[in-house]
Chains A and B, each alone.
Chain A
Amino acid sequence: MLEVKDLVVAYGKVRAVKGISFRVPQGQVVSLLGTNGAGKTTTLRTISGLLRPESGEVWFEGQRIDRVPAHKVVQLGLAHSPEGRRIFPRLSVEDNLMLGAFARKDAAGIAKDLQRVFALFEILKERRSQPAGTFSGGEQQMLAIGRAMMSRPRLLMLDEPSMGLSPLMMQKIMGTIAELQSEGVTILLVEQNAAAALELSDHAYVLEVGNITLDGTGRQLLDDDRVKRAYLGES
């Protein structure tokens, strides 16, 4: 569904991503793991058109998208829930969700998807007119995911959905991701919390300073000694 080939992204002279290639097949959950500065967020931002690559290609459903502007990428069916959630704190929950559907014009479909998000996250329905900035971190994350869902994406990219959340809330978010997958949404997940991400992933790639150093199924990586040492805190 999504294919990245030899992607190189640079900020000025500094190369953040140094020629990576990976694939996200339809219906799967694929994770990018790595520490701070490994280039995970840069990769996602390049795929969604917020950054331009220096070289390499990004293909989405048979179409090359690495030169397509961000607002067109959303229309193609690729949603990006950015790092740090980036909800609109002073807008109401409903306004936030409606902004997620900004690229669409089918009012009936939008209304239906709004109900779907409300069914997925009860709390959002209860507080639909409350300013989003008054929410706790976990609730904001639900809103961020719900907002990304509102563009009815075929591929959903989540950047660090567990950041700053309590373990309990993190479990809930991870559960939601699994639920979305069962509804047929393909997911590209970026996480620092390797254990939780690998549990869910059909396939995972480990990024280190701009290069993919390791890949395999979620199970394989969970059992890998290097991954255990570096990311799972076991010795």
Chain B
Amino acid sequence: MTASATTRQRAYNVERIVGLVGGLIFAVSAFFPWAYGHEALDDMAYFGSPSPLQWFAVVMALALINCLAASLLEPTLNNSTGFLKLLGRISKRFGWIRGARALAIGMLAYAVLAILAVALELNGLVNLEMGAWVALVGAGIAFGSSMMLPTGRAPFLERIPSYPVLEIATIALLLMGMLFASAYALSQEDGGTFLMVLVFIGALAGFAIGSGFGSWVATAGRRHRTVLVSSAFLVAFLFPFTQNGSDANMSIATQVLIFAATAVGLNIVVGLAGLLDLGYIAFLGAGAFTAAVLSESAFATINWHPPFIVVMLLSGCISATLGLIIGSPTLRVSGDYLAIVTLAFGEIFRITMNNLDGSSGPNLVHGSSGIPAIPNLNFFGFDFGQSHVVAGIELGRFANYFFLMLVIMSIIILVFTRLNHSRIGRGWVAIREDERAAEAMGVNVFGLKLLAFAGGAFLAGFAGAVKAHVDVSVVPDQYVFLESAFLLAAIVLGGMGTVMGVLLGATLLKLVPEKLRFMSDYRMLIFGLLMVVMMRFRPEGIIPNQRRALEFHVDDEELVEDVEERLPYEFVEFEEVPA
């Protein structure tokens, strides 16, 4: 090692130690009161007895200290022998500094949020106690020093040998953790507390991804796919049991599921086939109106009430037919036209529904007042409006619909993954990548596009039929362009072409506004900011499709190196050929 390299190594050690001190300050601050009054957040006014939120701060600080200490001790461990050497070798596989950065960013956001929330909820900065300022200083120090550290090489934890028992146990534990975390987050009535819990979860997730633990879990998940999928559904199935009959939270959860199911359907169109559909909400609306008109509501205009299974299939078929009508003339032309036509279609659908009121057109849906008083579903005598007590826990009306949506969701996910891995899926990939070349390969471009478009519409109609019964009334103005934009945003935010990403994106987009009603005036502003930040720093979404990640970061040397490393050959520049 040359002299200059040694000095650089030492210099970074100073930053590591400074960062450690920052983490320590942050941890200690939790034992001091942060707020003067008891009403702010979850009561941070005690000395020596941290509130849950303050304990979370301690957890983040300890994780940061662990990261920095490990990276500090690593060279020493590697120079020793025996067990310590083994520890060093394991430690080398982690991306400690990346993890530390994510944590430090989270800590800073956490402290700032706490200060803002206390100041807002108790009217004024004067209500802040010493502890909050100490936390801010600690987080600031940790943030500054971790940003100055070089990130070092990418973690490669996933390339250790497989230990099935350990992997399955980790998957199970993580999903259980998710269940309790989501139940805990949902039970927070206070918007500020809810946001801080989200930041805490986000910081831990960032730490997991940065340090390499995330990709290890992802690899484990791929190895034990069935375990992962079945336990994920088990956890989702258990969720209503954690709510103890709280209809407010179950209502949100059911709406989230409907939204997410629709988003996964749209992801077939946008993420797999690469067709930009800006009026997708109209297909959900078509399904909802079909179900409403055929329901036993006193306001339903068609006096035919087939069983719900038939209604659902009909809703899907009507949506798919609309998809075919819109798709067949427009899918032959290039993408931009499709976006414009679907955008117009969404509006035409809403306005048409408004006009089907008996005066401007035939009275099919009572125009803008829509169809109210849609009764609850009844499956073979099982009334969805009734509460049931299972194992001493009350499951209300929304829990019933939640279970139904879970079944529909699994059907949609199954369709999505099956299509993605089929010959049709490969054809879609080819169309998305290069339509002309796909055609020359013998891909029936028009037919496959139409299939994606109509298939996506069918699934939306499916979800819409349930939505009509959950919402009790169906009104044209529920199906505005903004909803289509939100669906698309859920896909972009979560990650195009992946199921997990879209589920996460849809949950965040639907859940956060519900919990932060006091900020509803600024909802669109915050949403817009979030999208801009995402596009700047992570255009491929939170959980990206691997191929898309490469597409967005061709200049990203680290990612390129990463790809290069996984493949044992040199990385040759893609040379552009003049046409």
Interface residues of A (CB under 8 A from B): 48, 50, 69-71, 73-75, 80-91, 95, 98-100, 102-103, 126-127, 129-131, 133-137, 139, 147, 151, 163-164
Contact = CB atoms under 8 A, between A and B. Distances in A.
A102 B423 contact: yes
A131 B550 contact: yes
A129 B575 CA distance: 19
Given A50-B439, A131-B550, A151-B442, 8 more contacts: A74-B441, A83-B579, A90-B550, A95-B426, A99-B438, A102-B430, A136-B575, A164-B575
A95 B434 CA distance: 14
B440 A82 contact: yes
A96 to B, nearest CB: 9
Given A71-B444, A130-B569, A135-B574, A95 B436 contact: no
A50 B440 contact: yes
A100 B547 contact: no
Of B440, B551, B569, B578, the most chain A CB neighbours within 10 A belong to B440
Contact of B563 (A82, A98, A131, A136): A131
Contacts, number: 93
Contacts of B429: 88, 91, 95
Contacts of A131: 547, 550, 563
A234 B433 CA distance: 42
Nearest to A86: B437
Nearest to B567: A130
Given A82-B440, A133-B574, A102 B426 contact: yes
Interface in B408-466: 423, 426-427, 429-430, 433-434, 436-445
A117 B396 CA distance: 61
Interface residues of B, number: 31
A186 B423 CA distance: 28
B577 A134 contact: no
A86 B436 contact: yes
A164 B443 contact: no
A80 B440 contact: yes
B439 A99 contact: no
15 contacts: A71-B439, A73-B442, A74-B441, A80-B440, A82-B437, A82-B440, A85-B577, A87-B437, A88-B434, A90-B547, A95-B429, A99-B443, A102-B441, A130-B569, A137-B575
A137 B439 contact: no
B450 to A, nearest CB: 13
Contacts of B527: none
B440 A70 contact: yes
Contacts of B567: 127, 129-130
A78 to B, nearest CB: 10
B572 interface: yes
A73 B573 CA distance: 34
A134 B574 contact: yes
A86 B440 CA distance: 10
Contact of A99 (B441, B550, B572, B578): B441
Contacts of A87: 437
